[in-house]
């Protein structure tokens, strides 16, 4: 394991790119928060790679990481805290099921009741993003876009911001990141049915629906039109990163000042944990759940 590397000069954000992997999560999880004892204040999450957007146009810092969160322990006790060197604040960890996965909210509080309030603010942000950007429900904004995009639609503001950022990343990456990949993802069975390898003929036919040129989007009006029927978008590679930033904004508005947010490996930190000068981030090998490939110490 690589240990103890200090990452400085990247305020409030961990930006990691590791080996890419395609993950499919069946369905959207049930709502709810659970508190969890945090044995080491500031000890955090795992990360490996995806694109991220920010919910605030004033937030010029961009980046993200996607991967798999540390599994929840079965011995957690709701609302318990782990004390740091500063006796007035403790880190409380809440495990949240949302967006078809698990997320961890770590926040420094004087009492666990305040932690619950902050955690629910973060979860509400995640649930809002999920209701807008999920590909697993027919009622989301993305589902509406996919149904009506060939005729032209006006996109909801938050989703428009994420689409604009996603298309920019697509252009900057030469098409390596492409939200129009949805028809291929569905063909392989990752959005419905059983994952399988389609025939070359099926893949080639579906590729005709994929590519950044298939989407005509005007940010100033939020107008979007697909090149034709069968073109669909999938925001799965960027929505969780956006959700992390949305949770940070909403929790900060509720009064949280020190936090680490981890949604399926998309990680953002604000402030420093009590009694420590860094957060500890474990980076998981994309082919193994354990042990961690590396450990990073992240400060502001």
What's the predicted TM-score (pTM) here? 0.73
Point out the domain boundary residue: 169, 194, 226: 226
Q: Are residues 152 and 258 in the same domain?
A: no
pLDDT digits (tens, 9 = 90+) for 271-294: 999 999 999 998 888 887 777 888
Q: Do residues 68 and 181 both lie within one domain?
A: no
CA distance 106 to 269: 9
Tally of helices (H runs) and strands (E runs) in the chain: 6, 13
**Same domain (yes/no): 77, 18:** yes
Do 167 and 293 sit in the same domain of this protein? no
- pLDDT tens for each residue of 29-64: 333 455 543 433 334 444 433 444 445 433 323 233
- Convert the pLDDT of each residue in 141-170 to its tens digit: 999 999 999 999 999 999 999 999 999 999
Question: The CATH number of the domain where 12 resides is what?
Answer: 3.10.520
Higher pLDDT, 175 or 77: 175
Domain assignment present for 231? no
Q: Which domain holds residue 104?
A: 2-134+238-298
In the block, residue with structure tokens 């099921």: 97
* Local structure of 96: helix, strand or coil: strand
Question: Is 273 a member of any domain?
Answer: yes
Same domain, 243 and 221: no
Q: For the domain that residue 217 is a member of, what is the CATH number?
A: 1.10.3980.10
d(CA 27, CA 188): 16
pLDDT at 154: 99
Residues 94 and 183 in one domain: no
Total of domains in the chain: 2
Give Cβ neighbours of residue 89 (< 8 Å, ≥ 6 apart): 108, 109, 110, 258, 274
């Amino acid at each position: 394991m690589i240990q103890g590397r200090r990452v400085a000069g990247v305020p409030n954000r961990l930006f990691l790119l590791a080996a890419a992997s395609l993950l499919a999560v069946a369905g959207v999880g049930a709502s709810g928060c659970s508190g969890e004892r945090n044995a080491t204040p500031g000890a955090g999450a795992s990360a490996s790679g995806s694109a991220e957007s920010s919910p605030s146009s004033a937030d010029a810092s961009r980046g993200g990481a996607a991967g798999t969160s540390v599994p929840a322990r079965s011995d957690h006790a709701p609302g318990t805290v782990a004390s740091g060197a500063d006796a007035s604040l403790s880190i409380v960890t809440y495990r949240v099921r949302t967006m078809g996965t698990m997320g961890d909210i770590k926040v420094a509080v004087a009492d666990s009741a305040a932690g619950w309030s902050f955690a629910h603010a973060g979860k509400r942000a995640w649930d809002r993003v999920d209701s807008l950007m999920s590909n697993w429900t027919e009622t989301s904004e993305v589902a509406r876009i996919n149904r009506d995009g060939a005729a032209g639609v006006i996109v909801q503001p938050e989703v428009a911001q994420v689409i604009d950022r996603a298309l920019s990343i697509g252009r900057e990456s030469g098409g390596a990141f492409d939200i129009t990949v949805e028809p291929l993802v569905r063909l392989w069975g990752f959005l419905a049915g059983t994952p399988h390898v389609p025939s070359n003929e099926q893949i080639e036919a579906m590729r005709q629906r994929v590519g950044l040129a298939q989407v005509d989007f005007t940010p100033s009006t939020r107008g979007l039109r697909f090149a034709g029927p069968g073109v669909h978008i999938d925001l799965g590679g960027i929505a969780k990163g956006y959700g992390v930033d949305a949770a940070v904004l909403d929790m900060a508005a509720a009064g949280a000042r020190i936090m680490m947010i981890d949604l399926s490996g998309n990680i953002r930190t604000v402030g420093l944990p009590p009694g420590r000068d860094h957060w500890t981030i474990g980076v998981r090998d994309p082919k193994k759940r354990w042990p961690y490939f590396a450990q990073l110490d992240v400060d502001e």
